[in-house]
Amino acid sequence: MNTFLAGLILFGSLSSRTANDITYQDTPDYEVSIGVKNKNLYFNRQWERQDGLKYVDDEYWFKAEPSDFYIKPQYVNKASRDLKYTKLDLRYKPDYFKGFSVGYTGFDYGDTEKNSLSVGYEYRQNISEKFSISYMIDGYYSDSNIDYENYFELKWKLSDKLSLTNLFDYNNFKEVEFYKFKLGLEYEI
């Protein structure tokens, strides 16, 4: 359990923007995001207002990596995008694949279940003592349909425990596209 919780990072961000609907121009939209993560788990909650409507978005997952495989159950509820699903990733990812993985992913959207062939690539590199880059792309193919998710993060260490992050996350599930671009802070517990 100690190794599962090792390197736990507390993160958060805050954003404010003008509403898209002119009716709400005097009430800015916002998003507040907090969570904890490390390489084996991720818990994130976001409170936001879009065009006068309030939403709570959640994403939770954990990953176990026995040998050359990984197992990753995930729950996503993007109320702001009317998208909710659970996902189970079972992947083969040996060292000689150099970051590539292939396997099975099952989705449950509540009203539909989908079994997919999944492929992915993950890259993490410390560029210098203070600067690192991470990139991940996953694709899921079934019934002539491809869903995918991309993740790109730049991280600048401000101190041993505090980092400034720049995140771009782009996803397309069930033909629902959503993305985020954030600047945030991370604190290693």
Instruction: Report pLDDT digits (tens) over 110-139.
Output: 998 999 999 999 999 999 999 999 999 999
Q: Which of 76, 73, 31 is nearest to 54 (CA)?
A: 31
Q: Could you give all domains of the chain from N- to C-terminal order, each with its CATH number?
A: 2-188 (2.40.160)
CB atoms < 10 A from the CB of 123, how many?
12
How far apart (Å, rounded) are the C-alpha atoms in residues 87 and 115? Answer: 10
How far apart (Å, rounded) are the C-alpha atoms in residues 132 and 137? Answer: 17
pLDDT value, residue 22: 79
Residue 134 and residue 142 in contact, taking contact as beta carbons nearer than 8 Å:
no
pLDDT value, residue 41: 94
Residues in CB range of 71: below 8 A, 6 or more apart = 63, 64, 65, 88, 89, 90
Residue 179 and residue 171 in contact, taking contact as beta carbons nearer than 8 Å:
yes
Per-residue pLDDT tens over the stretch 129-165: 999 999 999 999 998 889 999 999 999 999 999 999 9
Percent of the chain with pLDDT over 70: 97
pLDDT at position 180 over 90: no
Host H or E run for residue 99: none
Highest mean pLDDT among 19-23, 90-94, 143-147, 183-187: 90-94
Per-residue pLDDT tens over the stretch 47-65: 999 888 999 999 999 999 9
Tokens of residue 123, six digits: 């890259």
Torsion of CA 140, 98, 1, 78, to 10 degrees: -30
Residue 92: exposure state from Cβ atoms within 10 A (0-12, 13-18, ≥19): middle
Supply the mean pLDDT for the chain: 90
Residue 167 and residue 184 in contact, taking contact as beta carbons nearer than 8 Å:
yes
User: How would residue 1 be classed by pLDDT, with cut points 50, 70 and 90?
Assistant: low
Q: Which of 88, 90, 109, 92 is nearest to 100 (CA)?
A: 92
pLDDT value, residue 14: 86
Residue 55's alpha-carbon distances to 15, 44, 148, 179, in angstroms, are 14, 14, 24, 16
